[in-house]
Amino acid sequence: MKRYSNRSNFSTLSEINVTPLLDLAFVLLIIFMITTPLLENSMNLVIPSSSAANAPISKAQVQTISIDRDETIRMNNKTVDADSLAARLLELKRANPDVAIVIRPDRELPVQKLVTLMDSLQRAQITKVGIATKAESK
């Protein structure tokens, strides 16, 4: 029997081949990149519900504010500038404390303009606000 007492043969065993480890790391990276978007889209939400009935709102109390992509503001189909809008909202709130506003923004309208309009509604202390949307057809 031959003895392997030569230490030079063991020096090659101390080096680790990292190629299979890199292959494994890249495969895991690809798997996580593919599965992560699927996890975000498949979220099941349970919408909270309430047993309290909403007070009915008459159509006379509902006012409509429309904003097109040119940032033209119309209140009940009448053109209004941004300065007089705040005064008209305060007047509406004084005349009818239960006034409800439906905002109809254009799809191309910048979000900041919608937030500015909602800020003016908040300053007028109008709390019944809705945003009109259209259901997407698939």
Supply the pLDDT for residue 104: 87
Cα–Cα distance measured from residue 123 to residue 116, given in angstroms and rounded to the nearest whole number: 11
CA-CA-CA-CA dihedral for 42, 43, 48, 49, to nearest 10: 20
130 φ/ψ angles, rounded to the nearest 5 degrees: -135, 155
Supply the pLDDT for residue 135: 66
Q: Residues with Cβ < 8 Å from 107, sequence gap 6 or more?
A: 69
Q: Give the pTM.
A: 0.56
pLDDT tens string for the chain (138 positions)? 555 555 555 555 567 788 999 999 999 999 988 887 766 554 454 545 556 555 566 666 788 888 888 888 888 888 888 888 888 999 988 988 888 888 888 888 888 888 888 898 888 888 888 888 776 666
Walk me through the domains of the chain, giving residue ranges and CATH numbers: 9-41 (no CATH), 59-131 (3.30.420.270)
3-class SS at 69? coil
Q: Which helix (H) or strand (E) holds 21?
A: helix 19-41
Could you tell me if 62 and 102 are in contact, meaning their C-beta atoms sit under 8 angstroms apart?
yes
Supply the pLDDT for residue 28: 95
Supply the pLDDT for residue 27: 96
Supply the pLDDT for residue 47: 47
Supply the pLDDT for residue 42: 47
Chain-centroid distance, C-alpha 69: 20
